C-alpha cells in the first residue's frame, strides 16, 4: 500500500480548532499520513489568543530535518510562522529538500485580532517563502497586506492575485470568507494564465475558527494524493463547506468547525449512515 504523507509547519492552537491541530485532523480525515513541525505554541480558545510562545528557529529547522531525512512528505504546508528568522529557516529547509508541493497559508492575524506574524516578517515572507510556493492561500486582509492593494471588488482581487503570482507563487487563491456582505463564499484561483472561482453558499455562523487552516490543509492533502491544484481546491472547498455547515457548537466564542462532517456526509451518501 502506498501511504501519502503531508507535513504541516505551523503553530499549535491549544483549543484544537486551528493551527497544527486543525491541519492534522484534516490530513487524517482525508486519508493522508500527517507530520508536524511546530513553530510556536499559542494559549488559545474560542474566545481568543491568551499567549504566544515561539520556538527557536533552530528547533523549527531540526524538526523539519528529522522529517526530511526520513519520512519525506509528498506535500507540505505552512501556517503560523511568527517571525522573519523562522520564515528564513523554513525556506532554507524547503530548498534543502527540494520540496515542490508547497502550500503557504500566510497566517497573520487570528479572528479575535491577535497577531500571529510580526510586521517585520512580512518582507521575509515575500522575499524567501512565496517564491517557493505551488499554492498560496491568503484571505482578503492578508492579500491586501502582501500586495498593498485595497480589495473591494472582483477586479481588485484579480489585480492582487496577479501581483502575488508575480512574487513567485505559481497558483494564488484569494479566499472569500471575509467578503461578508455577499451570500456566496467565492475563492478566486489564478494559475498565472486563467482565473477560476470556487463557490459555495455563505453560512451564517460565528463558528468559523480555523477555516483557513483547515482549507489549506485539505488542499495540501489533495496534492499529497496526486490531485492537480484545481482538483485539490475543489475537494477542499467541499471539505470546508461541510465542516462549517455542521459546526460543533462548542466554546463560547468563535467555535471550531467539524472535521468529521465531510466523511460522514460521504458515508451517508454511500448508504452507511444510520
Ligand atoms: N461563512 C462561511 N460560509 C461558507 N464558507 C466560508 C465561510 N467563511 C469562510 N468560508 C470559506 O472557508 C475557507 C477559508 O476562508 P477564510 O475564512 O477567508 O480564511 P481565513 O480563516 O484564513 O480567514 C474559504 O474556502 C472560504 O470561502
Ligand atoms: C496557531 C494558529 N494558527 C493559525 C491560526 C489562524 O487560523 P485561521 O484558520 O486563519 O482561523 P482564525 O484564527 O481566523 O479563526 C490560529 N488562530 N492559530
Q: Where are the domains of the chain?
A: 5-268
Q: What pLDDT does residue 182 have?
A: 84
Of 32-36, 47-51, 125-129, 262-266, the poorest mean pLDDT is in 262-266
Overall average pLDDT of the 237-242 stretch: 98
Which of 176, 210, 222, 255 is labelled catalytic? 210
Exposed/middle/buried for 271, CB within 10 Å: 0-12, 13-18, 19+?
Answer: exposed
Question: Mean of the per-residue pLDDT values for the chain?
Answer: 96
Residue 269 has pLDDT above 90, yes or no: no
Which of 111, 157, 175, 237 is labelled catalytic? 175
Closest Cα to atom 18 of ligand 1:
177
Q: What is the pTM of this model?
A: 0.98
What is the CB < 6 Å shell around ligand 2? 10-13, 18-19, 42, 44, 79-80, 107, 110-111, 116, 209-213, 254
Model ipTM over 0.95: yes
- The string of pLDDT tens digits covering residues 13-67 is 999 999 999 999 999 999 999 999 999 999 999 999 999 999 999 999 999 999 9
Q: What pLDDT does residue 273 have?
A: 59
Which 8-state DSSP code applies to residue 130?
G
Cα 102 to chain centroid distance, Å, stands at 11
Q: Measure the CA–CA gap between 123 and 102, rounded to whole angstroms.
A: 19
- The string of pLDDT tens digits covering residues 155-202 is 999 999 999 999 999 999 999 999 888 899 999 999 999 999 999 999
Q: Say if ligand 1 is within 6 A of residue 203 CB.
A: yes
Ligand 1 mutation target, pool 136, 137, 176, 257, most atoms within 8 A of CB: 176
Which of 212, 220, 255, 257 is labelled catalytic? 212
Among this protein's residues, is 112 annotated catalytic?
no
Within a 10 A sphere around the Cβ of 274, how many other Cβ atoms?
4
State the fold for domain 5-268: 3.40.1190
Amino acid at each position: 500500500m502506498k501511504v501519502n504523507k503531508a507535513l504541516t509547519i505551523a503553530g499549535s492552537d491549544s483549543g484544537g480548532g486551528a493551527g497544527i491541530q486543525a491541519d492534522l485532523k484534516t490530513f487524517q480525515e482525508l486519508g493522508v499520513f500527517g507530520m508536524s513541525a511546530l513553530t510556536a505554541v499559542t494559549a488559545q480558545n474560542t474566545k481568543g489568543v491568551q499567549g504566544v510562545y515561539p520556538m527557536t528557529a533552530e528547533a523549527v529547522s531540526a524538526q523539519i530535518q528529522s522529517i526530511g531525512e526520513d519520512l519525506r512528505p509528498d506535500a507540505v504546508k505552512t501556517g503560523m510562522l511568527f517571525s522573519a528568522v523562522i520564515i528564513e529557516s523554513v525556506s532554507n529547509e524547503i530548498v534543502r529538500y527540494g520540496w515542490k508541493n508547497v502550500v503557504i497559508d500566510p497566517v497573520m492575524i487570528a479572528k479575535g485580532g491577535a497577531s500571529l506574524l510580526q510586521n517585520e516578517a512580512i518582507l521575509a515572507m515575500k522575499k524567501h517563502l512565496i517564491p517557493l510556493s505551488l499554492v498560496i492561500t491568503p484571505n482578503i486582509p492578508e492579500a491586501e497586506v502582501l500586495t498593498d492593494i485595497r480589495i473591494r471588488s472582483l477586479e481588485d482581487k484579480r489585480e492582487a492575485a496577479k501581483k502575488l503570482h508575480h512574487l513567485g507563487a505559481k497558483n494564488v487563491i484569494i479566499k472569500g470568507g471575509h467578503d461578508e456582505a455577499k451570500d456566496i463564499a467565492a475563492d478566486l484561483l489564478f494559475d498565472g494564465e486563467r482565473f477560476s472561482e470556487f463557490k459555495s453558499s455563505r453560512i451564517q455562523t460565528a463558528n468559523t475558527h480555523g477555516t483557513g487552516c483547515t482549507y489549506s490543509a485539505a488542499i495540501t492533502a489533495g496534492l499529497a494524493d496526486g490531485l492537480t491544484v484545481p482538483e485539490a481546491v475543489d475537494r477542499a472547498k467541499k471539505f470546508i463547506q461541510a465542516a462549517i455547515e455542521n459546526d460543533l457548537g462548542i466554546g463560547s466564542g468563535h467555535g471550531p468547525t467539524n472535521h468529521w462532517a465531510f466523511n460522514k456526509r460521504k458515508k451517508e451518501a454511500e448508504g452507511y449512515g444510520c
